[in-house]
Structure formats: C-alpha cells, structure tokens
C-alpha cells in the first residue's frame, strides 16, 4: 500500500503544474474559483448565478457542487486554483489509502486490505471513466467530482455494512452515504443502492436487517435533502442533454458489451494481461466458498454485480430505468465504477488466496530446514508478486510519462502563445458588455477545434480565465445549453440573441459576420460587434413549444432564420404551459421595438441593470438562461418574468422610458433543509451512543 501511494505521489506530480485543462476539469476548477469568490463575499454558491457557460445557470444547484464549495472555502485563504490542483493530486495519488482503510472497516484481513490497496491504482477499463487514473489526469477526462466522491463511497459502503450487519456505526453510515450523494449524484446512487443490497445479503434475520437498511437509507435521504429536494423542485428548468441522448455515453453500453469486456478482462485490465481480473475471479470463488463463514464476501459480490447490471443502462433496460428516481438524467455507464470498487476488494481477497496457495506449494516442495523454507517461501511470493505487478506497473508508468510530457508541452505553449490571448482578454475584461465567441471545440467541423494554445482550444482557455463565452457547449444543465449547440455562426442575429459582443479569432479565420477589428496580438485578432450586449428590446411575434428534453432541437430552425436579427423573438410555451402574450403584430419594416440606452451587468453577482426606451409594447430580454429564480423590476416595481425563445429571460414593458433590473435570487429553502440535516445528525449520534451503552452492559 505504501509503495502504491508513494508511486502515485511521485508519478502524478505533473498534476500540480498550473496549466489550463483539456476537458471537464476546466469546469470543476472554475467552480472552485467561483465558490471561493462567492464565499469571500459572504454569499452561498448554491444560491448564486454561475454565468460563464451555457448563458449561465444555478450550477451548484443542478450539478453536484459540494466538493467545489469545500475546495473554494479552502481557497478563500489561498489560491483556489492551487487548492484544486492539490486536491486532484492528493486524492488520486493516495487512493490506495482509502481502499485499505475501507477494506479494514469491511473486516477484510490486513493482507487482503493491503493487496486491494496495491492493486487500486492499476485499474484500466475500455471506457476509462471509472476509478482509474485516465479519468482524472490532464490527458484524461477530468471527472474531478467523481474523484472527490470516490473517497466517500468506500467508507459509505463499509459503514453501512457495519450498521446493517453489526448494529453499530449508525452516524458514520448515514453521514457518509449522505456525503456521497452530495458530492456526486451517480456515486450517490451507488451509496444508497449499496445500503439496500447489504440489507438483502447481510447475516441475520431478513426483516431485521432490512429494517436497519431502511433506517440508514431514510436517514441518508433526509440528511442529503438539502441537495436532493432543490434538484427535484428545479428539474423542469434543468435541460436534458439532447445532443448526447440515446448514445452510449448517456444510455450505457448494454449488457452484451459490458459482459464482453468483463469476460475478456477489459473491464479491469484493458490493454494488458488480465492480472486484476484473474485475482478477482479467485476472490469471487473464495467469497462463495466461505460465504457462510464470511458473509462480507457475499456482500461484496452482490455490490459488484448490482453495480455492473446498473451500468448496462437504458441500452439494455430501456424505459424501465424510469423506475430509478431521476433515472432519466443519469449517465448510466458511470455505474461501472461500483463494479470496479467491489472488484478491488474481491481481487484483494483473491491475492491472499493465491499467496496462501503459493505458500502451501513452497512449503511442500522446499527442504525442511526452517530458515531455508522461510527464505524460499518469501522468494516464491516475491517472484509471483513481481510477475503479476510488472505489466500493471509498466502500463501505468507509460501513461504517467505521456501525461508528464503533455503537461510540460502545454506549459511551454502557455508561456508563449497564451500571452497574445491574454492581451486580448484584458481588453474584454476592461470594456465588458457581452460574451466572447472563439469557436466551438466540440464540433470537429468548426474552426474552434483547431484554434488552440498548445493542445487546449482557446474557448477552454477562456473558461480558465473566467470569461463569459459562447461555444464551449454541453457543460451545464442550463436551458440554453442545447440551443447553444445549434448556434449558427453565419447568422448575425444569433450573435445578438446570445449576447455575443466579441469575436476572438486566429489570423487565418476571417470574421463569420461583419465585425470591427479592435485589437491584434501575435496571430490572434479581437473583433467587436458594438450593437450587441446582454440586453435587447424586442417584439415577440410567435410561440415556440418546448420542454427541457427538446428545446435545442425545436429552437434550431428559429436560430437558423432571419427573425433573431430582426429583433423578432418567440414567446415560449414551456412544458405544455401557456406562453406569454405576444407583444404586437408587427410588420417586418416597422423598425426596432426599442433601444437600450445603458446596461450595468454584474452577472457573477446575479444582477443586471438597464435603461431602455420602448417604441411600443415590447419585451426587454436578458441574454441569460431562463430560471424561475430570476426576478425583474420595472421602474422600481416588481414585474413578472417570461420565457423568450429559445429559453431566455424577459419582462414586458409599455411604450416609453424604463429602468429595468434583473436579479437572481436562487432557491430559498436551504436554511430549513440544513436544519433538517442537523436534526438527522443529532438523532443518529444519539442512536450510536445508545448502541455503545448497550454494548458495554
């Protein structure tokens, strides 16, 4: 275990280098910075407007934000970016320690626990998004929230086992399951589901152990209600990822594919000899053979099997997955991490079984001299261990070397190419007034995927600089995230609709629409669209019917039309509700509905003030994703907001001059839910204290 941890601390040091990230880690790092800023200002990230992606969203409500909030709290005293990097480094490198300690809580032997810990860093699957290095490192996928929760799930399972089978550790079980839910939703499902599985297979009377499992489950749900209830209440305003719908990334790979990977060793040992897979098989046999004597082995087998079946996803089970609360929003393939975790414990058991077999063989065949036999047994075990671990170490060493080289190359690019972009971004931050468009890296046909600093697309670099942008799509649950995917860069009206004021382009890419060059630096150019900003006065001339599952596709034709450029917007009939009344029947040549005189935008604070003149009854539209937390005041009086296509915030005004304020208030029920979590904690602590008193009697 110590060698595995030491190996990780040495090989993953490039994780500490300050470079912009390639994938989802950009979002997580930005959330940490945002949390640090909001907490330092005395505000909760959970009730704040996260403005940088998808035209903004209550990101900490829709997405698992506890890890970012905790890291941000640490970052208020130091650099939040440094806290993020150190958390990634330590949680990844010290992962074997979590496996060892949780295995001991499961009452696995020191040898089994240490063996599982030694194997922990070497998991490699075909998808590479489970509990494996590729999921987290710079050249990987950046699923940092999963990494944080990976330290909670093993202990949640182990303490749930103790609570259900041994009637102790009630508070740790409830607290750790609730913590896992708050840190990462898919991992939270594995924690809650794990309690049910343990209740079914633990030793003792079925009714009694199911009752104890129900207590842990109910306590964890109540303790995590401060996360769950706002998500449920706000679900109509959280978009389904329409672009990834019905793909393996969301629906799972299906039973046939998953089982193929399992039996060919590619669920644990992709690209090498199936060492962990073989040890897991031995551990599985060991658990079954000793099921009556060691029921914990049966529990681990059941936990792994249920997780594996869940990872089959909609591809296998189709509409049956709606039986899982919130199942429509889950990325089902992620449940494979539960199979990996249980597999590690079983592989640790298998390693000890193999070691005992080698010891028995060596004892029989070696001379009877005591010292010679001891040396021979140790040598035989050492040879078997080296042979087994050699392909694992070699593969991971190669991955670490590639990652280190890539980070070093990116740092060199940052010292050179980034300086030009930074000069242009300094102009944007000084003048403000709208978003930046630097291409769409998720679209391989778009030039944005080739506009890079080193290996990092400039649009992702903008996120590292906390620049409000359009183009880095599908990273939030905002209602505008899917319409953004259908943004038409050749349509001038779309720039106005999305609030794009600046174009950041490479010298080899001409502006897609007429724009004014304001600054050049090296091979980069900054253009401005001076008429565009966060606020616009428009007519609503029709209705778009949509809901959170199809708003992107339904808005595509509108975004491709001339209507946005004419200031002719659509009201939205959302999820079957009636749309707001159209402002007027306006002829195409009637002129603009109004003029924006001035705008003071502070979207990170959830506040936009604007002064407008309306020529007729019109709608003042804020280019921000619609959410019921947005409220508006017109001339100092509260006014009802409405949704304007595709899913923007608007407020109707009469002809004349008006001062309009948009303010984001956020979900208001957190204090009561925090009180509920505190009450659950006190109750479970009292139950634990009573259980300890009974044990002493």
Is the bond into 646 cis (omega within 30 degrees of 0)? yes
Measured CA to CA, the distance from residue 215 to residue 220 in angstroms comes to 8
DSSP readout, 336-353?
HHHHHHHHHHHHHHHHHH
Q: With contact defined as beta carbons under 8 Å apart, do 173 and 198 qualify?
A: no
Q: Give the range among 272-276, 313-317, 344-348, 426-430 with minimum mean pLDDT.
A: 313-317
Q: Which domain holds residue 478?
A: 420-528
- Which pLDDT score is estimated for 241? 83
Range with the poorest average pLDDT among 143-147, 196-200, 456-460, 473-477: 473-477
Residue 25 lies inside a defined structural domain of this protein: yes
Q: Is residue 672 a part of any domain in this protein?
A: no
Does the pLDDT at position 285 exceed 90? yes
Query: Residue 480 carries which DSSP code?
Result: T
User: Based on the domain organization, do 128 and 14 belong to the same domain?
Assistant: yes
Q: Which helix (H) or strand (E) is 385 found in, with range?
A: helix 370-431
Contact indicator for 171, 687 with CB cutoff of 8 Å? yes
- What pLDDT does 593 receive? 93
> Is residue 374 domain-shared with residue 457, that is, in the same domain?
no
| Separation of alpha carbons 271 and 267, rounded Å | 10
Q: Which of 497, 528, 559 is the last residue of a domain?
A: 528
Structure tokens at 167: 């009637």
Q: Give the separation between CA 616 and CA 379, rounded to whole angstroms.
A: 90
Distance CA 460, CA 469 (A): 10
Output the CA–CA distances (angstroms, integers) from residue 378 to 279, 338, 352, 355, 415, in the order listed.
20, 34, 14, 10, 52
CA dist 28 and 148 (Å) reads: 11
Residue that finishes a domain, picked among 528, 554, 582: 528
**CA pair distance 559, 546, nearest whole angstrom:** 14
**Count of all residues that appear for the chain in the document:** 697
Q: Does residue 120 lie within any of the structural domains?
A: yes
User: What does the DSSP 8-state code read for residue 269?
Assistant: B
Q: Residues 508-525: what's their mean pLDDT?
A: 95
- Tell whether 409 is covered by a domain: no
Confidence category of residue 497, pLDDT binned at 50, 70, 90 = very high
| pLDDT tens, position by position, 431-442 | 999 999 999 988
Sequence-distant (≥ 6) Cβ neighbours of residue 165 within 8 angstroms? 198, 202, 203, 204, 209, 295, 296, 299
Among candidates 539, 542, 440, 450, which has minimal Cα distance to 486? Answer: 440
Q: What is the pLDDT of residue 324?
A: 80
Which among 158, 16, 188, 157 is positioned nearest to 93, based on CA atoms? Answer: 16
Has residue 231 been placed in a domain? yes
Q: Is 182 inside any structural domain?
A: yes
Query: Strand pairing partners for 289?
Result: none
Do residue 376 and residue 447 come from a single domain?
no
Do residue 618 and residue 642 come from a single domain?
yes
Q: How far apart are CA 553 and CA 245, in angstroms?
A: 12
Among candidate residues 471, 504, 528, the one where a domain is terminated? 528
Is 173 in the same domain as 226? yes
Tell whether the model's pLDDT for residue 586 goes beyond 70.
no
pLDDT at residue number 583? 79
- The rounded distance, in Å, linking the Cα atoms of 570 and 564 is 9
The pLDDT assigned to 370 comes to 54
Q: Are residues 504 and 547 in the same domain?
A: no
| Cα–Cα distance measured from residue 126 to residue 270, given in angstroms and rounded to the nearest whole number | 6
659 and 613 inside one domain: yes
- Same domain for 631 and 562: yes
Q: From CA 527, how far away is CA 505, in angstroms rounded?
A: 8
**Sheet strands (E) in 484-587:** 500-506, 516-521, 524-528, 535-546, 568-574
644 located within any domain: yes
Neighbours of 492 (CB within 10 A): 19
Q: pLDDT by residue (tens digit) across 88-132?
A: 999 999 999 999 999 999 999 999 999 999 999 999 999 999 999
Residue 240 CA to residue 234 CA, distance in Å, equals 13
**What tokens were used for 403?**
């990652």
- 7: pLDDT confidence band, cut at 50, 70 and 90? confident
Backbone angles phi, psi at 663, to 5 degrees: -135, 130
184 located within any domain: yes
Q: Is the domain of 639 the same as that of 608?
A: yes
Q: Which long-range contacts (CB under 8 A, 24 or more apart) does 603-607 make?
A: 603/49, 603/51, 603/56, 603/468, 603/534, 604/34, 604/37, 604/48, 604/49, 604/51, 605/49, 606/48, 606/49, 606/663, 606/664, 606/665, 606/666, 607/661, 607/662, 607/663, 607/664
**Domains identified in the chain, total number:** 3
Both 520 and 633 in a single domain? no
- Convert the pLDDT of each residue in 135-149 to its tens digit: 999 999 999 999 999
* Cα–Cα distance for residue pair 210/195, rounded to 1 Å: 9
The pLDDT of residue 368 is 57
Mean pLDDT for all residues in the chain: 92
pLDDT at residue number 332: 87
Helix orientation angle between 2-11 and 370-431, rounded to the nearest 10 degrees: 30
Do 568 and 521 sit in the same domain of this protein? no
Query: Sign (positive/negative) of CA torsion 57, 58, 61, 63?
Result: positive
Within 10 Å of residue 637's Cβ, how many Cβ atoms? Answer: 7
CA 623, chain centre distance (Å) = 25
In whole angstroms, what is the distance from residue 547 CA to residue 68 CA? 29
| pTM for this entry | 0.94
Indicate if 577 and 481 belong to the same structural domain. no
Q: Using one digit for the tens of pLDDT, what is the confidence trace for 343-395?
A: 999 999 999 998 888 777 667 665 555 555 566 666 666 676 777 888 898 99
Cβ-contact 549, 445 below 8 angstroms: no
- In DSSP terms, 505 is beta-bridged to 525
405-409 long-range contacts (CB < 8 A, ≥24 apart) are 406/138, 406/139, 406/455, 407/14, 407/17, 407/19, 407/138, 408/14, 408/17, 409/454, 409/455
């Amino acid at each position: 275990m110590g060698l595995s941890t030491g190996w990780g601390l040495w090989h993953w040091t490039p994780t500490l280098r300050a470079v912009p990230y390639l994938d989802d880690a950009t979002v997580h790092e930005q959330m940490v910075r945002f949390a640090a800023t909001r907490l330092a200002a005395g505000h909760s990230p959970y009730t704040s407007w996260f403005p940088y992606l998808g035209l903004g969203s209550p990101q900490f409500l829709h997405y698992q934000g506890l890890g970012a909030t905790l890291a941000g709290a640490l970052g208020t005293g130091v650099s939040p970016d440094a806290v993020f990097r150190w958390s990634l480094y330590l949680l990844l490198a010290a992962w074997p320690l979590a496996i060892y300690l949780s295995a001991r809580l499961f009452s696995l032997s020191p040898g089994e626990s240490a063996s599982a810990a030694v194997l922990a860093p070497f998991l490699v699957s075909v998808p590479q998004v489970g509990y494996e290095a590729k999921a987290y490192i710079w050249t990987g996928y950046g699923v940092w929230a999963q990494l944080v929760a990976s330290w909670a799930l093993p202990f949640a399972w182990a303490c749930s086992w103790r609570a259900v089978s041994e009637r102790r550790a009630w508070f740790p079980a409830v607290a750790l399951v609730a913590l896992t839910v708050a840190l990462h939703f898919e991992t939270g499902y594995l924690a809650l589901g794990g309690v049910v599985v343990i209740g079914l297979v633990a030793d003792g009377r079925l009714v009694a152990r199911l009752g104890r499992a129900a207590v842990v489950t109910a306590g964890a749900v109540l303790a995590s209600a401060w996360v769950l209830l706002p998500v449920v209440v706000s679900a109509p305003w959280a978009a389904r990822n329409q672009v990834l719908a019905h793909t393996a990334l969301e629906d799972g790979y299906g039973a046939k594919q998953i089982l193929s990977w399992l039996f060919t060793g590619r669920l644990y040992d992709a690209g090498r000899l199936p060492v962990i897979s073989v040890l897991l098989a031995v551990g599985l046999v060991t658990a079954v053979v000793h099921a009556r004597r060691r029921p914990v082995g049966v529990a681990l087998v059941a936990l792994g099997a249920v997780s594996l079946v869940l990872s089959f996803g909609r591809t296998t089970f189709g509409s049956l997955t709606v039986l899982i609360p919130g199942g429509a929003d889950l990325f089902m393939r992620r449940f494979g991490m539960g199979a990996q975790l249980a597999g590690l414990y079983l592989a640790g058991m298998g390693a000890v079984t193999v070691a005992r077999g080698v010891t028995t063989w060596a004892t029989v065949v070696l001379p009877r001299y005591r010292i010679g036999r001891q040396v021979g047994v140790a040598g035989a075990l050492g040879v078997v261990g080296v042979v087994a671990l050699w392909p694992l170490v070699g593969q991971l060493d190669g991955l670490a070397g590639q990652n280190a080289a890539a980070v070093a190359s990116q740092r060199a690019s940052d010292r050179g190419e980034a300086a030009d972009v930074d000069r242009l971004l300094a102009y944007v931050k000084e003048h403000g007034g709208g978003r930046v468009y630097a291409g769409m890296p998720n679209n391989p046909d778009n030039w944005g995927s080739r506009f890079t600093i080193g290996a990092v697309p400039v649009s992702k670099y903008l996120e590292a600089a906390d620049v409000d942008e359009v183009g880095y799509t599908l990273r939030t649950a905002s209602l505008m995230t899917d319409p953004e995917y259908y943004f038409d860069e050749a349509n001038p009206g779309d720039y106005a609709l999305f609030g794009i004021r600046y174009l950041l382009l490479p010298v080899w890419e001409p502006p897609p629409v007429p724009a004014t060059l304001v600054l050049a630096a090296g091979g980069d150019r900054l253009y401005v669209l001076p008429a565009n900003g966060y606020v616009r006065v428009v007519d609503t001339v029709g209705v778009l019917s949509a809901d959170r599952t199809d708003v992107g596709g339904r808005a595509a034709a509108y975004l491709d039309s001339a209507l946005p450029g004419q200031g002719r917007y659509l009201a939205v009939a959302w999820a079957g509700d009636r749309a707001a009344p159209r402002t007027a029947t306006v002829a195409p040549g009637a002129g603009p509905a109004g003029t924006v005189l001035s705008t003071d935008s502070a979207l990170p604070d959830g506040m936009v003030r604007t002064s407008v003149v309306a020529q007729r009854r019109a709608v003042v539209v804020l280019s921000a994703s619609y959410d019921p937390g947005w409220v508006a005041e017109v001339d100092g009086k509260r006014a009802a907001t409405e949704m304007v296509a595709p899913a923007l915030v608007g407020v109707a005004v009469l002809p004349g001059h008006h001062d309009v304020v948009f303010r984001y208030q956020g979900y208001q029920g957190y204090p009561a839910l925090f009180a509920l979590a505190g009450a659950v904690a006190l109750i479970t602590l009292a139950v634990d204290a009573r259980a300890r008193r009974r044990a002493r009697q």
